[in-house]
Structure 1
């Protein structure tokens, strides 16, 4: 059994409250169960209750067994001195205050509503294939599900905001510089994301500002910092890049000692780091003050327009420096732009608007609802249970649901789990 289940039972009074007695046969009347505490200290603050006619106001601590009080060392923690009731599933030991008086204990084992306990067993104590509630997921009310998914999407944005806040601290609140780092990471996708981010971190963004009007220098900077210009090669374009990089390296005292090596293995040619770095260079050549343009975009179409870029001419006939390929213009695809919007633009707009004292929720929800759903294993699995992912807002919410709730068995704090427990 999870202690979180007992928190749920206590918070929502999923037990017979009419004839409660402590383990010492004292009557208990509940007036207010208290405020659920999700941080350190007792589980519920400021509960209001009567024990044998005596009114008490204080904190409630919850455990599976009474003896867990000592397992968790609460007897030596002053934060628990104001506990007025110890609520447990099973009573196996008396608990004492510092003055040796017994803390009243309420055992829930025999008073929990039968249907709630049965639903809990079905949800969390039965063998399951993918998520605990997969057999009942399709039955959850649409209104509840939609509201929960919106909340999960905002949760995911808030989680991503923490990464942005850290980047802002290390970038002296340079929003343009943070945008560049986030874009670099997401241009690298999962395979080369960390390598691209380490490249972006290896020099000050002011260098990009200074050379933006020179696309060849931008490419030389990016290629050189990731170590792609260290080879011996008979190639005019490659030689020009090497010369430009050596000039930039000396001028700006560049170092790439801490840049993570790139990976080409198992990547489709359009995702080769050579192509993505050239596209990133062309994006910054095309757009000066890119952060302002991102923030100034009013519609999803405005954002798509900002990312209509390709590579430099050399890469129209190459995927690597060494070999020619069929001539194609390697512009950013809509699916790739969607990933950039989902993982970079929307979280950054959310974080910036909030820093300005504005409420970013409605705007971000509207934009995310106009971006197509992601296509990955998590989304595919949810869609088999209940066809539902029609936008990036929903797909991001489902990823948050799976990774932060389902995988951690946090059904008690999930709206879906709560609704199934209450059936």
Structure 2
């Protein structure tokens, strides 16, 4: 018996056992009219079940354990919340259980009613040491089943992320523009410099930039100065000018620069250096006006991309990756892959979160449509599913796969997964 109680939940829910000539442990004939509904909260495992024992029809709850004695281990005998249990489902009946009033609780033992093939298939899924439990079987699952469950995991993923957005929104007293600015900045850092970018965004409120929109040099000074890159002595004219501007702005707004040591450069392509990303971010601030409002209005993905095209990045960065390091000419615009990342992880998320918060399905639908318009992500997780035969046509699918892997596969929740359930039922 190498399976958890959840396996018996599955067996009961889908009636995956021999249900011919059912009898209770006391020998009374038993008929299942309705198994009830799985309860994911506290209390008995299934609610609103309906069964017939002998000539009597009972309506109430069902409790499931591996052994009858688990009822006592869990102290249900002293819990009034279990008085409405009409049937005790167990794999092995090893004890007589009495209700609080002294009456014997009817029990159905499943030990000899579950096919060995089903148990073996579940054990194979649950005990697998491969990249994910159904890596060998998922290619045989109907695409409709997979797509249906991926739709669920995608919504789960975005609802979880939305909760984080709304927590931040609450912290900022309902200011969507500032909340969006924080998340966008973090996205500009991608994985490696996400935290420094977030701290940088929080160091200077977006409204301060708004006061200097007509002066790109001051915007750039605020960005590089607050990020901690203007503390050295410089020879080039551009950083010297930034330093002078920042000395004035720092006093005016009481800015405390970050420690430059928090920014990571190692093992990165120079085009992804934080200095280049900061230069692009400063250019986006210069170019954009009420960016979040624009995103709510712009419907077409081509138009959304244009918000990040042709940024007025200072020409200095065409020949520099760092203030003290000159190099050959380089591209200073945000690459298509990076723009896709921003559209996916910030724009689509905020459309979804805004729709949820305001109760406007229109924005949720736009978020979904945007995901369907973006290419699928390519990473270590998605490649494993692709190799196993799962087709990912767009970012909707790849985001759903990430949720599936992290919240179902990795924690062995095969019995809560539509794909896993389908595989188990193919016995």
Shorter-chain TM-score tier: over 0.9
TM-score by length of 2: 0.92
Residue 152 (1) aligns with residue 153 (2)? yes
Matches within 5 A, 1:366-385: 366-385=369-388
TM-score by length of 1: 0.93
CA RMSD of aligned residues (A): 2.2
Look up the SS of the partner of 2:322 in the other structure.
Answer: coil
Cα distance between partner residues in 2 of 1:285 and 1:139: 52
Deviation at 1:361, TM superposition (A): 4.7
Report the equivalent of 2:33.
31
Residue 422 (1) aligns with residue 386 (2)? no
Cα distance between partner residues in 2 of 1:248 and 1:286: 21
Matches within 5 A, 1:12-91: 12-91=14-93
Look up the SS of the partner of 1:8 in the other structure.
Answer: helix
Report the equivalent of 2:367.
364
Of 172-181 and 207-216, the range deviating more from structure 2: 207-216
Residue 395 (1) aligns with residue 401 (2)? no
Residue 413 (1) aligns with residue 416 (2)? yes
Structure 1, unpaired ranges of 5+:
none
Residue 354 (1) aligns with residue 356 (2)? yes
Q: 1:281 to 1:69 in 2, by over 3 A?
A: farther
Q: 1:354 to 1:314 in 2, by over 3 A?
A: same
Cα distance between partner residues in 1 of 2:30 and 2:333: 70
Does the aligned pair in 2 maintain the 1:275–1:315 contact within 8 Å? yes
Cα distance between partner residues in 2 of 1:129 and 1:174: 45
Count of residue correspondences: 422
Measured against aligned partners, the alpha-carbon deviations of 1:85-120 in whole angstroms (never above 9, x if no partner) come to 222222233333333433322222222245433432
Report the equivalent of 1:219.
220
Does the aligned pair in 1 maintain the 2:319–2:328 contact within 8 Å? yes
Structure 2, unpaired ranges of 5+:
none
Report the equivalent of 1:242.
243
Report the equivalent of 2:298.
297
Look up the SS of the partner of 1:146 in the other structure.
Answer: helix
Report the equivalent of 1:265.
266
Residue 251 (1) aligns with residue 249 (2)? no
Measured against aligned partners, the alpha-carbon deviations of 1:234-283 in whole angstroms (never above 9, x if no partner) come to 33322222232232222222235799921111111111111111111111
Does the aligned pair in 2 maintain the 1:264–1:273 contact within 8 Å? yes
Q: 1:281 to 1:40 in 2, by over 3 A?
A: farther
Q: 1:212 to 1:70 in 2, by over 3 A?
A: farther
Q: 1:420 to 1:354 in 2, by over 3 A?
A: same
Report the equivalent of 1:200.
201
Of 64-73 and 388-397, the range deviating more from structure 2: 64-73
